[in-house]
């Protein structure tokens, strides 16, 4: 029997990410109990490895939780990765006080300015003013900052929109590539120059398809589109499908049903990934609409990645969809509200049938699906490893290492103890 798979046996490429989450516990309203925060579990799992391999890091996430914070762990890890080209993701909750946020951001600045940054992402910040010093450093030191992503999503647009535009204009003026701009669509005219360079766009609710078309038609470089729609618009004129030649990812979210009308009005020749998030419909309606989607939307057969998040789909419909999606390589069921027998049996069926059901299926990602036992995840990981041609513990082909990463990454809250206990065998 081979030795247990250790965290140190995993390849360097999958370990170059660091998470920091300062909220120890969070209330799960559905289950009614306190559960350990997923990201804290990851930090504990990787702590020993990361401290010994600081130069492998490529991305740092810093979350400000809004109460008494101790950001020393984040500062320590940023210092250890001093010579690495990093990406900085900063997220703060609405509970975070402006004064506290300003203090903590400024305390990180002396460390941040020593890095060669690839990306800046600021999410849900109650105020952007504290981050001005970081952005200004990027503008003033173009040789140090190769920005490949620029994302600003403050929730209070009436107070932050001016700063967003100012930063975006300066980024364009200094030839910094803006790849991710998430702002309300009504805030920009279709002719605004940002639409010609943005690669990610979030469209809010209550817009007619004609208005949506007028905006995305100008987004000639658009690669990722996220749409929130709640109902089909009335009296929408019939028009040819809207061509998005570079779109590779489409996310549909916050809807009472699947927006079939929208999907039928899009032409996506190179679509790669489709994600449904927070589709609050009954199981029978979901099954009916998914069936209609697969049968009536031609480009759907091209997708290679399908994610169902918070959608009550039955096992039978899911298996039927896989049969109708011949190129599918990745299936994700994250935080699924299980109504069928979406448990151990499904994962075994997918593995057993994939030669004829989905010949290119390479990964099955389970997120916070609590009815999937930890032992099932271990079995899936073991199957991924053993399924690789000529697989050995230290000789797995690189693509299979990538697939192994996905299973572990999406199921990190379920497998972290598996590594510790040494139960994972290959």
pLDDT one-digit tens code per residue, 207-234 = 566 666 766 766 666 777 777 665 565 5
Q: Which residue is associated with the tokens 């001016």?
A: 162
Report the CATH fold assignment for 187-231+241-372.
3.80.10
Task: Please report the DSSP string for 243-269 in residue order.
Answer: E-TT--EEEEEEESS--HHHHHTEE-T
Which pLDDT score is estimated for 253? 75
Give the count of alpha carbons within 13 A of 339, CB side only.
15
How far is CA 296 from each of CA 80, 116, 264, 289, rounded to the nearest angstrom?
A: 53, 48, 8, 10
pLDDT tens readout for residues 68-105: 344 565 666 666 666 555 666 666 655 567 777 777 77
Pairing assessment for the beta strands 266-267 and 242-243 based on DSSP bridges: parallel
For residues 119 and 59, what is the distance between their CA atoms, to the nearest angstrom? 9
3-class SS at 288? helix
Which pLDDT score is estimated for 38? 37
Q: At 415, list the tokens.
A: 């497998």
For residues 207 and 205, what is the distance between their CA atoms, to the nearest angstrom? 6
Which pLDDT score is estimated for 304? 87
For residues 393 and 2, what is the distance between their CA atoms, to the nearest angstrom? 8
Kindly report the number of other CB atoms within 10 A of residue 417's CB atom. Answer: 12
Which band of pLDDT confidence, cut at 50, 70 and 90, is reported for residue 152? low
pLDDT tens readout for residues 233-252: 555 556 677 888 888 888 88
This prediction's pTM: 0.54
pLDDT tens readout for residues 341-368: 444 555 555 555 554 556 666 665 554 4
Q: Is the pLDDT of residue 48 over 70?
A: no
3-state helix, strand, coil in the chain (%, to 5): 40, 20, 40
CB-based contact 352:385 (threshold 8 Å): no
CB-based contact 362:383 (threshold 8 Å): no
pLDDT tens readout for residues 267-311: 889 998 888 877 766 777 777 888 888 888 889 888 988 887 766
Question: What is the distance of C-alpha 102 from the center of its chain?
Answer: 27
Ordered by start, the domain boundaries in the chain are: 187-231+241-372
């Amino acid at each position: 029997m081979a030795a247990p798979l250790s965290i140190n046996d995993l390849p360097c490429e999958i370990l170059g990410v660091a998470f920091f989450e300062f909220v120890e516990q969070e209330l799960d309203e559905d289950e009614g109990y306190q559960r350990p925060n997923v990201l804290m579990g990851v930090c504990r799992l990787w702590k020993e490895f990361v401290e010994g391999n600081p130069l492998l890091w490529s991305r740092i996430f810093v979350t400000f939780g809004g109460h008494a914070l101790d950001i020393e762990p984040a500062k320590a890890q940023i210092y250890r990765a001093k010579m690495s080209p990093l990406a900085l993701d900063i997220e703060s909750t609405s509970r975070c006080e402006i004064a506290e946020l300003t203090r903590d951001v400024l305390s990180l600045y002396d460390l941040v300015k020593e890095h060669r940054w690839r990306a800046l992402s600021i999410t849900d910040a109650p105020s952007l003013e504290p981050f001005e010093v970081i952005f200004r450093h990027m503008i003033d030191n173009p040789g140090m900052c190769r920005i490949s992503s620029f994302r600003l999503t403050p929730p209070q647009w009436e107070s932050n929109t001016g700063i967003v535009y100012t930063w975006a204009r300066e980024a364009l003026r200094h030839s910094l590539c803006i790849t991710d701009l998430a702002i309300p669509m009504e805030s920009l005219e279709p002719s605004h120059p940002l639409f010609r360079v943005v690669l990610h766009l979030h469209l809010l609710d209550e817009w007619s398809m004609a208005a949506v078309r007028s905006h995305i038609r100008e987004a000639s470089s658009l690669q990722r589109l996220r749409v929130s729609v709640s109902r089909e618009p009335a009296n929408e004129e019939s028009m040819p499908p809207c061509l998005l030649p570079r779109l590779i990812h489409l996310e549909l979210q916050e809807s009472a049903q699947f927006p079939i009308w929208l999907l039928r009005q899009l032409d996506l020749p190179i679509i790669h990934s489709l994600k449904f998030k927070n589709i609050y419909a009954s199981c029978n309606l979901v099954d009916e609409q998914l069936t209609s989607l697969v049968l009536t939307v031609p480009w759907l057969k091209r997708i290679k990645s399908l994610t169902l998040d918070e959608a009550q789909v039955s096992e039978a419909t899911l298996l039927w969809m896989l049969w109708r999606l011949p190129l599918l390589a990745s299936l994700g069921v994250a935080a699924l509200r299980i109504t069928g027998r979406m448990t151990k049996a499904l994962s075994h069926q997918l593995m057993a049938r994939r030669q004829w059901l989905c010949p290119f299926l390479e990964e099955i990602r389970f997120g916070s699906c609590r009815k999937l036992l930890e032992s099932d995840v271990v079995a899936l990981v073991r199957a991924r490893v053993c399924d690789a041609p000529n697989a050995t513990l230290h000789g797995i082909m690189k693509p299979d290492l990538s697939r192994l990463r996905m299973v572990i990454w999406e199921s990190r809250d379920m497998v972290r103890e598996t590594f510790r206990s040494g139960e994972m065998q290959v």
